[in-house]
Structure 1
Amino acid sequence: MNSIQDTTNKKNLYLLIQLRWLAVIGQVVTILFVDLVLGIPLPLIEMAVVIAFLVALNVVSLLRHRNQDAVSNTELFLELLLDVAALTVQLYLSGGASNPFIYLYLLQVIIGAVLLETWSIWTLLAITSACFIGLTTYNRPIALPRQTSSDLTNLQTQGLFICFVLAAILLVFFVTRIDRNLRARDAHLASLRQQSAEEDHIVRMGLLASGAAHELGTPLATLSVILSDWQRMPLFKADSEVTQELQEMRSQLDRCKAIVTGILMSSGEMRGEGTLRTSVNIFFDGLAEEWRAHRSPAWFDYENVFGADAAIVSDSALKQIVFNLFDNALEASASWVGVTLERRDDMIALQVRDAGPGFAKEMLDQFGKPYNSSKNRPGGGLGLFLVVNVVRKLGGTVTAGNEITGGARVELTLPLASLSPGEAGEADGA
């Protein structure tokens, strides 16, 4: 959380830099206007030194902004204190508390209230209040031209008006930008909390799956022994039809054992351990053939237009999420499932289509959330939920939509870099 706040502070520092440039321009224009147009002599050299200090401070702040990843609350507080110091010197040189621009202290306090932590805000308020009080006694009076009291009142009113307009413009500019940064930070925090909750959910499901796989091991082994005994019995061996059915049962039982073994391996291994070095075309072509053999769809339209092959590493998790996409399409459309594999720059794009009724709007709005399904059965929607989270871990994305001609479309994109043998080696080393 602290790193997110520091990053937000870095954005806010950049806004302070922009605000300071505006203040520099405003001071130059105001000083020249007062001295040349109104004919009120000002200590131009001393004021120019203060402006040069603000310019130097901005240059240093820009270097800080570019070279550092994060900015702390203390740094923002010091930046605002330096701005207050520069403003105090300028006011001291131009009449002190009688200068209508003294109310720019409020601008500093409001900006501090938006940006800083509580202790910093109250400290800044105390310092600006002390500066205000000090300027009532200690200041360099300015020599006003001989004017009537009404002229001086008008001059004071004009100064207050200019101060008000300047402060209002800067506040609107600054606060709206700050609000945008804060909303972006809050949205990012909400996304991280949601991701953390989803990952906790996946961990719980993984533990349940691992426990179920362990529990299923014993009854599957018992059934395997019983089927072996039956296949050796003369009574069953004499009936060819029963023998064929027993062989089919034995085949399906072996498949169940293989699935359980895969679950145990997946739950006990981190990515990069026990992975298979292969290539994009070999891996996805093999998955398509294996899925076609096991699911026997009425029509499976698989098209590989990936082009030049690329080396990757794969594991059971990647295989399972692809099978989940195929299975969901088959459940929605038993007559036809279409799959296209292609390359987009350095990304693998796998598009799975079906000829079913498509996604409802509310399902698209909650796509990838657990238990978001139209199947009306316990655990529905977990397949796509796992797909989205596994792909996100690999740096990819999953999008869903409906085809214009009917049916649903789910597209999975994965960066080749996340599946490259080099990345796998780094994972092993870690």
Structure 2
Amino acid sequence: MAAMAIASSLRGAARRSALIRLALDSVGRQNMIQMVQLRWIAVIGQILTIVYVVQMYEVRLPLVQMANVISILICLNLFSLFFPQRNATVYRWQIFFGLCGDVAVLTALLYCSGGATNPFVFLYLLQVTLAAMLLDGWLTWMIVGLTTVCFTALTKYYQPLQLPEHSRYTLFELHILGMLVCFALNAGLLVIFVNRITSILRGREERLAELRQREVEEDLIVRMGLLASGAAHELGTPLATLSVILGDWRRMPEFRDRPELLEEIGDMEEQVRRCKTIVTGILLSAGEARGESLGITTPQRFMDELVAEWRAKRHVPTLDYDFDQDAELPADLSIVSDSALKQVICNVLDNALEASPQWLAFEVRCTAQTLSMQVRDFGRGFAPEILAQLGKPYQSTKGKPGGGLGLFLVVNVIRKLGGSVTAENLIGGGALVSMSLPLASLAIGGSHES
């Protein structure tokens, strides 16, 4: 059992590692998409700015050289747009080289339009801000160093802006106007894209926190399974001993001649058999079949037998049980008789019976894709804090030490089968627990785990 638990933990760790890697890859792709959108804004802004400056202020610019630079930026953007679709993972170095390309294009445009005297030189701060948010420390400092070198080079190497002799504006006036436009552009883009990137990173942290919580819950399940299996094994020997002793008592003259004692011995044997059944169920749920083969059944037979066994062991005045299967499904549709699923359904029914001893309803619907189950009762319903923390361990209003594990196990077993569990309070009173899982998870050869 310990080896099985370790193997289960390793499989769970592998699944969690894959999910964490998927979450990080998704964030990388989203960040790359944000950079692509920013570049399209840059392309449009650069074209409009060049056209506006040339037409309104008659500034002489090397339009052919600047058009070539903008074409390079468009090609870089198209490459960045389609590259993540061909490669699932977007690494930080890819974002780093993308930012380096943006810095190079901006530097080339500034070289053609006044160098460091161009007020749009402060757009370097936008690249530095994005690097600080998207890259590691040393990569960010490399972007800082690159922009500093480019800024310094533009103070010496550039093509000066040229105004016509009859221009009504001076270079200083255009510089002040350009600074105003650059400030508004920098501020607007930073607000928009920093908020977007922050939202992406916050979503990543939430997904990672959820995965870590699942890791804690699965670890708790493994430890509970080890405890339950160990207890079941330990109980097997004394129960067998009790069964032998009671059999000997039944044959002894002191008991054989007294019917009232024989009746009590029969009751004791029945309780021992019930304990053995419970122990067997625990071992089955833990993955140890005690030599018994895996059962194959149909959805309706599985549910009918489950309800019949549950009714036989508990006093239920009224249980409204209904099974509905789509007409197009074959009546002999085969599924695996999953003992863990049976146990969690009985757990939900037990909770409903405890809340509503006089009446409860159990409705099952089987479609081609889904097996849906609903348990309703007329009890007091769930407390708000229980609904808010559905499926979390030790969330109980019964006041019992270690309570609140029933729904925790229900949620986790159904989730392991690829399904979901919801709970709600009904308007007319009582509560409704809905369980839904893909029928493929119970199909023969399906990818379910007991």
TM-score > 0.5, shorter chain as reference: yes
Taking every aligned residue pair, what percent have the same amino acid on both sides? 51
Q: Which residue of 2 aligns with 1:279?
A: 298
Within the alignment, does 1:82 sit opposite 2:105 as a pair? Answer: no
1:87-98 correspondence to structure 2 within 5 Å: 87-98=106-117
After TM superposition, give the deviation of residue 294 of structure 1 in Å: 1.4
Amino acid at match of 2:358: S
Q: For residues 399 and 147 of structure 1, what CA distance do their matches in structure 2 show?
A: 76
Q: 2:353 aligns with which of 305, 325, 330?
A: 330
2:150 is matched with: 131
- Report the CA distance between 1:174 and its aligned residue: 0.7
User: Contact 2:299 / 2:366 at 8 angstroms: preserved in 1?
Assistant: no
- Residues 289-322 of structure 1, C-alpha deviations (whole Å, 9 max, x = no match): 1111111311111111233354322321111111
1: CA distance between counterparts of 2:284 and 2:298? 22
CA RMSD of aligned residues (A): 2.0
Task: Determine the C-alpha separation between the residues in 1 that align with 2:136 and 2:244.
Answer: 70
Deviations 1:175-197 (A, max 9, x none): 11101100100000110111000
Counterpart for residue 387 of structure 1 = 410
* Structure 2 equivalent of residue 408 of structure 1: 431
| 2:186 equivalent among 144, 159, 167 | 167
Please tell me whether the aligned partners of residues 274 and 315 of structure 1 are also in contact (alpha carbons under 8 angstroms): no
Q: Distance in 2 between matches of 1:204 and 1:191?
A: 20
User: 2:216 aligned to 197, 217, 222, which one?
Assistant: 197
Contact 1:368–1:388 (CA<8 Å) still a contact in 2? yes
| Displacement after TM superposition at 1:59 (Å) | 1.3
1:115 aligns to 2:115 (yes or no): no
Map 1:216-295 → 2, pairs under 5 A: 216-269=235-288, 274-295=293-314
Separation in structure 1 between the aligned mates of residue 416 and residue 426 of structure 2, nearest angstrom: 27
The yes-or-no answer on 1:53 pairing with 2:77 is no
Q: Is the 8 A contact 1:332 1:357 kept in 2?
A: yes
Q: C-alpha separation between the residues in 2 aligned to 1:147 and 1:224?
A: 114
TM-score after normalising by structure 1: 0.94
Q: What residue in structure 2 maps to residue 346 of structure 1?
A: 369
- Residue in 1 that maps onto 2:10: none
User: Which of 345, 355, 372 pairs up with 2:378?
Assistant: 355
Q: What is the DSSP-based 3-state SS (H/G/I as helix, E as strand, rest coil) of the residue aligned with 1:305?
A: strand
Q: Quote the offset at 1:63 in angstroms.
A: 1.2
Give, in whole Å, the separation in 2 of the partners of 1:128 and 1:257: 75
TM-score normalised to structure 2 length: 0.90
Match of 1:417 in 2: 440
Query: Deviation of residue 4 (structure 1)?
Result: 3.2
Aligned equivalent of 2:171: 152
Q: Distance in 1 between matches of 2:284 and 2:368?
A: 33
Q: How far did 1:235 drift?
A: 2.8
What letter corresponds to residue 317 of structure 1 in structure 2? Answer: A
AA matched with 1:303: D
Deviations 1:22-80 (A, max 9, x none): 11000110011111121011111111111111111111111112222221110100110
> 1:80–1:108: 8 Å Cα contact kept in structure 2?
yes
Choose from 399, 403, 426 the match for 2:422.
399
Retained in 2: the 8 A contact 1:363–1:372? Answer: yes
Question: More deviation in 174-183 or 243-252?
Answer: 243-252
Q: Deviations over 1:317-358 (max 9, x none)?
A: 111111111111111111112111114662211011111111
- 1:405–1:119: structure 2 CA closer, same or farther, 3 Å change rule? same
In structure 2, the partner of 1:366 is: 389
Write out the 4+ residue segments of structure 1 that deviate beyond 4 Å after TM superposition.
Answer: 147-150
Residue 136 of structure 1 aligns with an amino acid whose one-letter code is T
User: CA separation in 1, counterparts of 2:54 and 2:221?
Assistant: 70
Change in 2 beyond 3 A, CA 1:162/1:351: same
Which amino acid letter does the alignment assign opposite residue 355 of structure 1?
Answer: F
Q: Distance in 1 between matches of 2:64 and 2:257?
A: 115
